A and B are shown apart, each in its own frame.
Chain A
Amino acid sequence: MTEVNLGEEIVFWISGGLAVLGALGMILSKKAVHSALWVALTMINLAILYIANSAPFLGMVQVIVYTGAVMMLFLFVLMVVGVDSSDSLIETLKGQRLVSIVLAIGLAILLIAGVGAGLTDVVPVGLEEANGVDGGNVEGIARLLFTDYLIAFEVTSALLITAALGAMVLAHRERWLPRASQAELSRSRFLGAGHPGNLPSSGTYARHNAVDTPALLPDGSPSELSIPGPLVARGDVRPIDHHDVDQIESLGGGTK
């Protein structure tokens, strides 16, 4: 397995390309939600690269954890900046765009040259051994994680605590009153001044059964209770066509 075979090379170029594409898409998308989706593409392709490098456990964990993480990013975008928002492309610092492009290209050249020079003609060593000595990839990780890197593992729990605490501080609203139970809600509905039971449903005897068509009372007048309040406020209530009502009633054999 020390030789890089053809299959691995194909996987590298396809997945590597897609990962870079995802990263570029993330930066170049105007919509924040699209950026989050491109990140998901990058993460999945990185996972494929890990698997191709004989680290199947890491690859699967990458997908499981990062899909959750990207989902959170996605939700965060939806919550904080709105469902459809996009970035403004106005430069706030003058000349910032040019400078950052130049610096980014410089960094890229540096990295490619440095890493490229360091990694040409390297013969991979010890992969077979690392995955075999404990009877498999997962067992090897378990041995390292739970013996040599025990402190790091235990400290991770502190990181998790911080994350959950942070989320609580940011997103949790304390309730002042205990939540009303179903019994209490029902009691207050009956004791209160409002309508105790279900409100009449819309559209009875009318031409449409859409919620913006009021139900008709026995005397032919529209029932205001049958239309949702917001529609009344928006002025979206459909007027009743009395001619239609008469026609329907005559068809029904005069139920009046």
Chain B
Amino acid sequence: MTGSQFGVFGIDPWWLVLLKVLAIFVMLVLLTLFTIWWERRVVSRMQNRIGPNRVGPFGLLQSLMDGFKLALKEEIIPKAAHVGVYWIAPVISATAAFLAFAVIPFGPTVSIFGVETPLQLTDFPVSVLYVLAIASIGIYGIVLAGWSSGSTYPLLGGLRSSAQMISYEIAMGMSFVAVFLYAGSMATSEIVSAQEPIWFAVILLPSFLIYVTSMVGETNRAPFDLPEAEGELVGGFHTEYSSLKFAMFFLAEYINMVTVSALATTLFLGGWLAPWPLSLWESANTGWWPLLWWLAKVQIFIFIFIWLRATLPRLRYDQFMKFGWKVLIPASIIWIMIVAAARVLRNDIDFSNRELLIIGAVVIAVLLVGSWLAQVVIDRRDTARKLALAEFENRTYDPIAGGFPVPPMPGQQAVLTSRRTASPVVQQEAIDG
């Protein structure tokens, strides 16, 4: 079933599989607790506050205690909830969040109790697709939570989440294409080893930027945290959830944050490979050290998440959707085509790197000028349209233009006939207005 390159996966003895599964589970729970604490401390610092510092050293146990507190809170299930779906939604969210981590590589082959095994639970030829598939199952948890609560705000929040996540999933999926093109594989372990000389974040910078942007949208984090815009939707999809059910959503959100960071590390920052000055040390990529590099890279992404939250205000919904559909998606399609064309030119037609760079610069310049021209044309048309409308509105409305009854155009005021004026509703309107 598996190609020869996946020979190292799927041959672990059962106790090692159990050990790895347990290790991933514990690591994710601990990372969640740590990230919540870290986020609160960092955001506090950025806002000139101190943050949680009472429970345990530096307040480290704060999120654990918060978890216990949630467990001791009363569980409230609204009367109007659809009980079965209401129960299963947090389960779907949390399970999907844990599952996505199965294919993330943490390090090279190490020896655990005398068994040589890679520091990765499993891998197969389409493992990046597996992460995408699990992520799209995870969306169900949110939509179902919104729907099953039987309440207005969660329903709106759930639908908004799903619209947001599917919009940004496309940009995210497209940013992978260039990586697959360069790695020639969709398996996480092979993508990491394909970045041995140089990371994909360097040679595929636009893909990296698109991925980083869409991963923030995908995890519903600030500045893209519209599904839980407090001023509009209260808590969003989890408004009606309390106690441990709420804790499951919270857990899933933070695990998803870690997952997308880990995926970014794997696809663009060389996974567990040592960064440049460290990679000069010859044993940097052997043994357990890579685990440390991996963790450091993931923590950088998590810090960026927190930094964004402390810095940027929330986007308006229409701006957010516009950004996803009109900027990220066309940009990724064009970038994919540029990458593919450059690769063909290099491999088959034997262009040198310098010629490629010149061609690339020309293409990008043409695109920039073209988009600027298009914007000018569109702006001019919009202004003309607005002027024409303003002029049109100023004309009086003729209800029987050319001998036929005509409804008022938008912006025109219907002239009240004597019959309409006589009706009580219109009279009331006239008084109010």
Contacts and interface: CB of A to CB of B under 8 A. Distances in A.
Interface string A36-74: 010010001001000000101100110110011001001
Contact of B137 (A56, A67, A132, A176): A67
Most buried by A among B140, B166, B409: B140
A138 interface: yes
Most buried by B among A64, A83, A137: A64
Given A71-B143, A136-B125, A64 B136 contact: yes
Nearest to B173: A64
Contact of B126 (A33, A56, A78, A176): A56
B136 A63 contact: yes
Interface in B360-374: none
A57 B126 contact: yes
Contact of A136 (B3, B140, B409): B3
B136 A67 contact: yes
B141 to A, nearest CB: 12
A37 to B, nearest CB: 7
Contacts of B155: 83
Contact of B147 (A44, A60, A83, A132): A83
A56 B125 contact: yes
Contacts of B136: 63-64, 67-68
A33 B410 contact: no
Contact of B140 (A40, A57, A135, A177): A40
A57 B129 contact: yes
Interface residues of B, number: 29
A71 B125 contact: no
B162 interface: yes
Given A1-B1, A63-B133, A67-B139, A138 B126 contact: yes
Contacts of A83: 147, 155
Contacts of A252: none
Contacts of A137: 125-126
Nearest to A132: B3
A125 to B, nearest CB: 16
A1 B137 CA distance: 30
Interface in A64-123: 64, 67-68, 71, 74-75, 78, 83
A40 B143 CA distance: 13
A91 B375 CA distance: 58
Nearest to A65: B136
A67 B129 contact: no
B129 A71 contact: no
Contact of A177 (B139, B162, B389): B389
A40 B126 CA distance: 21
Given A56-B126, A63-B133, A177 B147 contact: no
A60 B159 contact: no
B137 to A, nearest CB: 6
Most buried by B among A47, A54, A60, A138: A60
Contacts of A131: 1, 3
A64 B143 contact: no
B281 to A, nearest CB: 34
Contact of B159 (A67, A68, A75, A138): A75
Interface in B161-214: 162, 166, 186
Contacts of A47: 133
Contacts of B1: 1, 54, 131
Contacts of A132: 3
A68 B166 contact: yes
B327 interface: no
19 contacts: A1-B1, A34-B85, A37-B85, A40-B140, A44-B137, A54-B1, A57-B126, A60-B132, A60-B133, A63-B133, A64-B133, A67-B136, A71-B166, A75-B159, A75-B162, A131-B3, A136-B3, A177-B410, A178-B389
Interface of B: 1, 3, 85, 124-126, 129-130, 132-133, 136-137, 139-140, 143-144, 147, 155, 159, 162, 166, 186, 382, 385-386, 389, 409-411
Interface of A: 1, 33-34, 37, 40, 44, 47, 54, 56-57, 60-61, 63-64, 67-68, 71, 74-75, 78, 83, 131-132, 135-138, 176-178
The 8 A-B pairs with the shortest beta carbon distances in the complex, nearest first, are A63-B133, A60-B129, A176-B410, A67-B136, A56-B126, A60-B133, A136-B3, A60-B126
